[in-house]
């Protein structure tokens, strides 16, 4: 079965500093990996995805993610954090069973960017 | 373009009551799904559908029913509400294809007393 781990419940970073939100995965076959962000009282918003190709993926709002096959990781990064980046971040992997359409989500990491 | 619309946004029920959470999408997506979000547990899949007339169970289906009579709508029914079903419920949709991101509604916050 597929699984996703986000080892940090909470990440604190000062505004202007680089940020990293960690994600590791376990999947049979090639991984299809996604990052989502959730602001208070809102649904999840898609940030970026890795399907194949370049290990560094660029997405919305200046975020990027680095895929590392040997470490089975897909860490989310941003060179300079903004206070408005404070939110809940979810990593997800596409299931390989059941039509291959379902997502398996990690537990989420709360990012706080301090002014 | 409305995207994924969920109604109601908030609901309070008594134990044993039934209700239907509505979900509609206007993007002609084949795939639709329902999740529940509980603190520290991420999102857990309840039921999903890969097209009209096709539904299947996810990770936590007990106590919930779904149907998919049209491409646009995917209602979630609570048969007999229990306090353990207090949660935030999200509907999502996407085109078929493993590279397709899912689009989420803004959720229904449900409290069972």
Q: What is the pLDDT of residues B33-65, one digit of tens each?
A: 999 999 878 899 999 999 999 999 999 999 999
Q: Specify burial of residue B88 (Cβ count, 10 A radius: 0-12, 13-18, 19+).
A: middle
Distance from CA of B14 to the nearest CA of A (A): 23
Average confidence score pLDDT of chain B: 95
| Dihedral, A80, A24, B104, A96 alpha carbons, nearest 10 | 150
Residue B81 has φ and ψ, to the nearest 5°, of -60, 140
- Asked if B89 contacts B106 with a C-beta cutoff of 8 angstroms, the reply is no
Q: Which residues of B touch A45 (CB under 8 A)?
A: 104
Nearest by CB to B99, from A42, A51, A105: name it: A51
Nearest by CB to A106, from B31, B42, B90: name it: B42
Residue B1 reports pLDDT greater than 70: no
Task: Inform me whether the C-beta atom of residue B39 falls under 8 Å from chain A C-beta atoms.
Answer: no
Mean pLDDT of successive 10-residue segments in chain A (115 residues)? 92 98 92 95 94 92 96 97 97 81 92 96
The pLDDT-based confidence of B67 (bands split at 50, 70, 90) is very high
SS (H, E, C) B26-75: CCCCCEEEEEEECCCCCEEEEEEEEECCEEEECCCCCCEEECCCCCCECC
CA distance A71 to A75: 11
Q: Decide if A34 and B101 are in contact by the 8 Å CB cutoff.
A: yes
Q: What is the pLDDT of residue A29?
A: 84
Residue B97 reports pLDDT greater than 90: no
From first CA to last CA, the distance across chain A in angstroms is 41
Distance from CA of B85 to the nearest CA of A (A): 18
Nearest by CB to A105, from B43, B50, B96: name it: B43
Residue A39 Cα distances to A45, A99, B12, B30, angstroms: 9, 30, 23, 26
Which whole number is the average pLDDT over B77-103?
A: 95
Residue B98 reports pLDDT greater than 90: no
Q: What is the pLDDT of residue A32?
A: 93
Residue of A nearest to B34 (CA): A102
User: With a CB-CB cutoff of 8 Å, which residues 56-85 of chain B face chain A?
Assistant: 56, 58
- Asked if B69 contacts B5 with a C-beta cutoff of 8 angstroms, the reply is no
Q: Which residues of A touch B34 (CB under 8 A)?
A: none
């Amino acid at each position: 079965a597929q699984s996703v781990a986000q080892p940090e419940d909470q990440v604190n970073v000062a505004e202007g500093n680089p940020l990293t939100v960690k994600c590791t995965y376990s999947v049979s076959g090639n991984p299809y990996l996604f990052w989502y962000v959730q602001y208070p009282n809102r649904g999840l918003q898609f940030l970026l995805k890795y399907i194949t190709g370049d290990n560094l993926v660029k997405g919305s709002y200046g975020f990027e993610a680095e895929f590392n096959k040997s470490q089975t990781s897909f860490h989310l990064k941003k060179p300079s954090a903004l206070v408005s980046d404070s939110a809940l971040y979810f990593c997800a992997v596409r299931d390989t069973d059941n039509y291959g359409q379902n997502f398996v989500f990690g537990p989420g990491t709360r990012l706080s960017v301090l002014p | 373009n409305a995207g994924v619309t969920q109604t109601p946004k908030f609901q309070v029920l008594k134990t044993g009551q039934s209700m239907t959470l509505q979900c509609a999408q206007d993007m002609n997506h084949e795939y639709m799904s329902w999740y529940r979000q509980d603190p520290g547990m991420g999102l857990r899949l309840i039921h999903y559908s890969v097209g009209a007339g096709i539904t299947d169970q996810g990770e936590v289906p007990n106590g919930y029913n779904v149907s998919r009579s049209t491409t646009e709508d995917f209602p979630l029914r609570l048969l007999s509400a229990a306090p353990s079903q207090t949660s935030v419920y999200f509907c999502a949709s996407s085109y078929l294809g493993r590279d397709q991101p899912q689009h989420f509604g803004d959720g229904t916050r449900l409290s069972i007393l």
